Chain A
Amino acid sequence: MQIYLPIAEVSVNAFLLLGLGGIVGILSGMFGVGGGFLMTPLLFFIGIPPAVAVATEANQIVASSFSGVLAHFKRKTVDLRMGTVLLIGGLVGAALGVMVFNYLKAQGQVDLLVKLCYVVFLGVIGGLMFFESLNAIRNVKKGKAPKRKKHNWIHGLPLKMRFRVSGLYISVIPPLIVGVLVGILAAIMGVGGGFIMVPAMIYLLGMPTKVVVGTSLFQIIFVTAFTTMLHATTNFTVDIVLAVLMLVGGVIGAQIGTRIGVKMKAEQLRILLAIMVLAVCGKLALELLLQPAELYSIAAEGH
Chain B
Amino acid sequence: MPRLILAALLCLSLPAAAEEVVLGLSSDTVSINTNFDGSKILVFGAIKRDAPFPEEPPMEVIVTVAGPSQPVTVRRKEKMFGIWVNTDAVEVDSAPSFYAVSSSAILPLALSDTEDVRHRISIPRAIRSVGAPANIANSETFTQALIRIKSRSNQYQLNEGTVSVDEQTLFRTSIALPAALTEGDYQTRIFLTRGGSVVAQYETSIYVRKVGMERWLFTLSREQSFLYGLMSLAIAIFAGWGASAIFSLLRR
Contact = CB atoms under 8 A, between A and B. Distances in A.
B91 interface: yes
Most buried by B among A111, A241, A254, A295: A295
Interface residues of B, number: 62
Interface in B68-97: 70-79, 82-86, 91
Most buried by A among B35, B232, B235, B240: B232
Interface string A292-303: 101111111111
B34 interface: yes
Nearest to A241: B217
A240 interface: yes
B244 to A, nearest CB: 4
Contact of B226 (A10, A233, A299): A233
Contacts of A70: 240-241, 244
A225 B222 CA distance: 19
Nearest to B212: A6
Interface in B23-54: 32-38
Contacts of B236: 59-60, 62-63, 66, 228, 243, 247
A206 to B, nearest CB: 29
Nearest to B243: A251
Interface stretch (B4-12, B106-114, B130-138, B178-186): B178-186
A71 B241 CA distance: 10
A169 interface: no
Contacts of A225: 233
B241 A292 contact: no
B22 to A, nearest CB: 34
Nearest to A285: B83
A71 B240 CA distance: 10
Contacts of B176: none
A302 B235 contact: no
Given A4-B35, A236-B222, A292-B77, A229 B183 contact: no
Nearest to B235: A244
Most buried by B among A1, A62, A108: A62
Nearest to A238: B232
Contacts of B215: 6
B243 A252 contact: yes
A214 to B, nearest CB: 13
Contacts of B71: 300-302
Contacts of B202: none
Interface in A251-303: 251-252, 254-255, 287-292, 294-303
Contact of B77 (A67, A251, A297): A297
Contacts of B75: 296-299
Nearest to B178: A11
Interface string B240-252: 1111100110000
Contacts of A64: 240
A297 B85 contact: no
A254 B244 CA distance: 9
A10 B247 CA distance: 33
A229 B149 contact: no
Contacts of B141: 296
B231 interface: yes
A7 interface: yes
Contacts of A147: none
Nearest to A111: B86
Interface string B195-227: 000000000000000100111011001100110
Contacts of A215: none
A302 B73 contact: yes
Contacts of B37: 2, 4, 11
A243 B70 CA distance: 27
B38 A11 contact: yes
A173 to B, nearest CB: 31
Contacts of A167: none
Nearest to A247: B239
Nearest to B141: A296
What are the 3 A-B residue pairs with the smallest beta carbon separation, nearest first? A66-B240, A232-B229, A11-B179
Interface of A: 1-4, 6-7, 9-11, 47, 59-60, 62-68, 70-71, 74, 108-109, 111-112, 225, 228-229, 231-233, 236, 238, 240-241, 243-244, 247-248, 251-252, 254-255, 287-292, 294-303
Given A229-B229, A247-B239, A296-B141, 15 more contacts: A11-B36, A59-B233, A67-B240, A109-B86, A228-B236, A231-B229, A233-B229, A244-B235, A252-B243, A254-B243, A298-B74, A299-B72, A300-B70, A302-B73, A302-B91
